[in-house]
């Protein structure tokens, strides 16, 4: 019987211990949904092991791999770091990032409701806050998630970024107030606590949602990305 490729769950990396735990639990949740699937972790920054080292080690052991970015949009880390790590090995391939996806938008909606925000109030504005990237493909992915969220939100939904893209989250919050919003809620479009999540507390919003994890729907998205990569490159 042919063994399935190892699922390499590749995250950005964080020094935040809760963030590290939640990312590790996401990979474990994917394994629980699909017993027998081998998974391992890799990172593009901050913490080891690097995705380059993990993919190389699997290739040298003769083990095929699918690297799934635990990232919500496609920027430098997806199109350069992860793409470069798999390009050197015929036995490795890369999946697309987790977002945009309707299930992620549904998790965001639940996080917004948990703050007491009313989806039916046209004067409650949402700023979808992403980490940010100078790669326009990342911005397009974030805009796609905003469109999905907008379908279930009566008030305006705009985007803001933690770095490298415009507008910064505080400017997006201020713009929403100038446009007439009675209440502005920042929807943290982040998987787990960490540096960017901490910065959102000072953005001037009335409240900030919790990050997306933990939520079982995200593990299902992760497995779908793995399956899509296999279907493209059997």
Integer Cα distance of 164 and 137 in angstroms? 13
Q: Report if residue 226 sits inside a domain.
A: yes
112 in the same domain as 66: no
Per-residue pLDDT for 60 more than 50? yes
pLDDT of residue 234: 67
**Is residue 16's pLDDT more than 70?**
yes
Residue 126 has pLDDT above 80, yes or no: yes
In a domain, 1, yes or no: no
CB 142 within 8 A of CB 104: no
Same domain, 226 and 160: no
In a domain, 75, yes or no: yes
**Residue 199 maps to which CATH number?**
3.40.50.1400
pLDDT at 6: 96
State the residue range of the domain holding 198. Answer: 102-208
Same domain as 114, residue 44: no
Q: Which of 29-38, 44-53, 144-153, 224-233 has the highest mean pLDDT?
A: 144-153
Please give the tally of structural domains in the chain. Answer: 2
Which pLDDT tens digit goes with each residue over 105-124? Answer: 999 999 999 999 999 999 99
Name residue, tokens 């969220």.
149
Asked if residue 201 and residue 131 are part of one domain, the reply reads yes
Task: For residue 34, count other CB atoms closer than 10 A to its CB.
Answer: 15
Neighbouring C-beta atoms of residue 5, cutoff 10 Å = 21
Reported pTM: 0.94
6-11 and 65-69 beta bridge pairing:
parallel
Share of the chain above pLDDT 90, in %: 92
pLDDT band per the 50, 70, 90 thresholds, residue 189: very high
- Please state whether 198 falls in left (phi above 0), alpha (psi between -120 and 50) or beta: alpha
218 and 191 in contact (C-beta within 8 Å)? yes
Distances (CA, A) of 86 to 14, 24, 54: 22, 22, 10
Give me the sign of the Cα torsion angle 167, 107, 39, 92.
Answer: negative
């Amino acid at each position: 019987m042919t063994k399935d490729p190892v699922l390499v769950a590749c995250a950005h990396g964080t020094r935040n211990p809760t963030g590290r735990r939640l990312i590790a639990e996401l990979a474990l949740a994917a394994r629980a949904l699909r017993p027998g699937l081998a998974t391992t972790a890799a990172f593009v920054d901050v913490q080891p092991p690097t995705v380059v080292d993990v993919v190389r080690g699997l290739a040298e052991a003769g083990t095929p791999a699918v690297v799934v970015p635990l990232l919500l949009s496609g920027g430098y880390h997806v199109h350069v770091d992860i793409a470069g790590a798999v390009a050197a090995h015929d036995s490795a391939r890369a999946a697309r990032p987790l977002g945009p996806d309707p299930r992620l938008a549904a998790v965001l909606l639940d996080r917004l409701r948990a703050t007491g925000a009313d989806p039916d109030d046209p004067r409650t504005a949402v700023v979808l806050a992403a980490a940010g990237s100078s790669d326009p493909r990342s911005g397009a992915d974030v805009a796609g998630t905003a469109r999905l969220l907008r379908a279930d939100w009566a008030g305006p939904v705009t985007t803001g970024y933690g770095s490298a893209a415009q507008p910064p989250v505080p400017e997006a919050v201020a713009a929403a107030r100038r446009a007439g919003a009675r209440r502005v809620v920042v929807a943290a479009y982040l998987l787990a606590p960490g540096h960017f999540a901490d910065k959102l507390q000072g953005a001037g919003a009335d409240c900030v949602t919790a990050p997306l994890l933990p939520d079982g729907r995200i593990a299902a998205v992760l497995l779908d990305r793995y399956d899509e990569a296999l279907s493209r490159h059997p």
